Amino acid sequence: MAVDCGVFVDWSQMDDVSRDTAPGKTEYKDIKELKQHARSGQWGRNHSQRSAVYQHLLKALPCRTVTPDAEVYRDIMGNSNSKRNPSAYLLPEFVDGMAVPRYCLKAESVGSAHAVISCVAGQFPDISYCPCLPAVTALLLHWSADEAQCFESVSRMLACNEPGRRLLDQTFLAYQSACMTFGDLVHKYCPAAHKLMVATATDVLEVYSDWQRWVLGDLPFSFAARVMDVFLVEGYKVLYRIALAILKFYRKQCVASGSALTKKESAAVRSDIQTFVQNIGKSVTPEKLLEKAFSIRLFSRKEITLLQLANEKSLQQKGITVKQKRQNVHLAVNADNFSSEIFGAKEIRDVWSWIPERFALCQPQLLFTTSTHGCSLNRFYSHCEGYEPTLMLIRTTDGEVCGAFLSTDWEERKRGGNKLSFFGTGECFVFRMKPEMERYEWVIIKHPELASAAQPAGDDQTGGEDNGAPLSLEKPATDPSQLSPFLSARHFNLNSRNTSMFMAGNIDSIIIGGGDGNALYIDSELNHGRTERCLTFDNPPLCAESFQIALLEVWGFRDAMA
């Protein structure tokens, strides 16, 4: 292995990486040690060691019974040591025009990557969309003895059938839902970067559609290799982590350069981010990038799985199928169809950038407005029941504007009988428009230490979120980092019920947020309201603490899936 690995590499670009040093440790029985070595770059300077570790990891992947191997490649492609002309092996349509990155490979090795990808396309006819395949293939060529071994490694990643484990998107449905999931995660865990994107890009979701390319394609080789180390050990969620960290560093650069408030076309922002990622080594080391990525809190496999499934269902409802080739999916709200008396086009676009991506697929639908339906709480309920989620907008007689995104059908209030009882999920949030637009999410998202949960029997406490089967939704979260806003509060052992009072209603009032006050309280005549700091959202008053309502609107999401 030590003699053969690296035949595709341009060693003049590899700095202090050793080609001939003995591999050292290549097999791991202790998952914690494996994870620690992957994250710390233990194999980075020893090419033979990294190659051997990768082969062990890939051989250990559970795969479909019939998975093409190196012998299949040799039978089809012949002598894998001969030089290949890239033009003789056109890349398949499913890579969507993505080129093979050089990644410190020899110029002629690009032809080898083309040959491997071409053979993969023939052996995996069900792949309809996989733009990251050129980058993955180029990386794996580094640590392969020949094309056939690289082909087998790629094939095992594509054929992996371990329950709950995901490596490479192979359909446009999976890819697009991953882009939506990334957008959801940016909303939650990179609010400052998301605010920058909303302020600068004309179409934020178009910018986020490049997230996977940042990681697998645009990053320089020294960074991409470190990402591959942890990707093969910990799985797909590592890609999300790295992309979120990239966005955080990009925002930092924009703020430092004073370009944070310049409005641009989305294509210009995408180009700026791509240039930043390609030159990231000027400001960030691979160690710093990984450190930032793994410092992000409240990020679990369960969270990703829930977001991914919900987003896939929404796309399927829009007609996107597993066989679908690339298609432009319109995720931005059509402001021309939004005839609010409270919000203008800019305000609704900004608020739309906060909502979960699966609902951004849907056009807004006016359900209730006091200007048409009158100031009656009964009529409010009759028009809003059956819709989930809803967006409430309020304009006061003083001209102040605030509101709430409410995740759950108002009909849920009936489960408590005549008693006022809270319901809803951690996707609820409240917002205000002045002195500047500001959203206030569930306090647990920013302060997971406020939640505690017992370890369910049988759960592996050594692997945590990074090592284990997907968590059952029927079990409580095993630690604060595994909380998911998709689940209602009854799934968590919270220190205080005050942190999970999302929404409530009866014949006398509507309440949003609870615990030492209400983010919003509205009386039965939809005339008077008050707003205070509440523990659920940890918000300041959203407008004057006591206010008169001039206009109240409730919007639903046409064709939304709960």
Q: Provide the pLDDT for residue 475.
A: 35
Residue 107 has pLDDT above 80, yes or no: yes
Q: Show Cβ contacts of residue 107 under 8 Å, excluding neighbours closer than 6 positions.
A: 10
Q: What is the pLDDT of residue 165?
A: 84
* Rounded distance between C-alpha atoms, residue 208 and residue 215, angstroms: 12
**Choice between 516 and 498, residue whose per-residue pLDDT is larger:** 516
pLDDT at residue number 349: 78
Question: What confidence score (pLDDT) does residue 337 get?
Answer: 64
**Contact predicate 279/221, CB 8 Å:** no
- pLDDT surpassing 70 at residue 456: no
Identify the weakest region by mean pLDDT among 102-111, 246-255, 345-354, 540-549: 345-354
H/E segment holding residue 365: strand 364-369
Tokens representing residue 253 in the block: 């650069």
Task: Decide if pLDDT at 289 tops 70.
Answer: yes
Mean pLDDT of 278-297: 94
pLDDT value for 484: 52
Cβ(366)–Cβ(553) under 8 Å? Answer: yes
How many Å apart are CA 282 and CA 279, to the nearest integer?
Answer: 6
pLDDT computed for residue 479 by the predictor: 43
Least confident of 53-57, 108-112, 334-338, 501-505: 334-338
pLDDT band at 4 (very low <50, low <70, confident <90, very high): low
Q: What pLDDT, on the 0 to 100 scale, is given for residue 429? A: 94
Dist. CA 383–CA 260, nearest whole Å: 42
Q: Read out DSSP for 80-111?
A: TTS---GGGSPPPGGGTTPPPP-TTB-TTHHH
- In whole angstroms, how far apart are CA 415 and each of 423, 506, 533? 9, 11, 27
How many helices and strands in the chain, by DSSP H and E? 20, 10
pLDDT of residue 260: 61
The pLDDT tens digits for 181-220 are: 999 899 888 889 998 898 888 888 889 999 999 999 999 9
Q: Are 347 and 317 in contact (CB under 8 A)?
A: no
pLDDT tops 70 at residue 403: yes
- Region of 177 (left: φ > 0; alpha: ψ -120 to 50; beta: rest) is alpha
Phi, psi torsion values for 488, nearest 5 degrees: -75, 165
Using alpha carbons, select from 530, 238, 491, 498 the residue that is nearest to residue 400.
530
For position 464, what pLDDT does the model report? 37
pLDDT at 493: 43
Residue 239: in which H helix or E strand, if any?
helix 237-257
* Structure confidence by residue, pLDDT tens digits, 234-270: 999 999 999 999 999 999 999 888 766 667 788 899 9
Percent of the chain with pLDDT over 90: 54
Judged on CB neighbours under 10 Å (0-12, 13-18, 19+), 25 is middle
User: 418 pLDDT exceeds 70?
Assistant: yes
Top pLDDT among 484 and 248 is at 248
Instruction: Give me the chain's average pLDDT, please.
Output: 84
Q: Is 70 exceeded by the pLDDT of residue 80?
A: no
Which has more confidence, 287 or 88? 287
Averaged pLDDT, 147-168: 92
Query: Which range among 28-37, 369-378, 490-499, 537-546 shows the weakest confidence by mean pLDDT?
Result: 490-499
For residue 498, pLDDT over 70 is answered with no
Position 26 pLDDT exceeds 60: yes
**Structure-model confidence comparison of residues 67 and 501, the more confident one:** 67
pLDDT at 95 over 90: yes
Q: Mean pLDDT throughout 373-379?
A: 94
Report pLDDT for 50: 92
Q: Once rounded to an integer, what is the mean pLDDT over residues 402-406?
A: 96
pLDDT of residue 298: 59
Instruction: Give 297-310 pLDDT, tens digit per residue.
Output: 755 677 778 778 88
What confidence tier does 15 reach under pLDDT thresholds 50, 70, 90?
confident
Of 154-168, 362-376, 432-446, the poorest mean pLDDT is in 432-446
Residue 359 to residue 186: CA distance in whole angstroms: 16
pLDDT for residue 558: 74
Range with the poorest average pLDDT among 52-56, 143-147, 305-309, 457-461 = 457-461
What is the per-residue pLDDT for 325? 60
Q: How confident is the model at residue 20 (pLDDT cuts 50, 70, 90)?
A: low
Query: Looking at the predicted structure, is the pLDDT value of residue 496 above 70?
Result: no
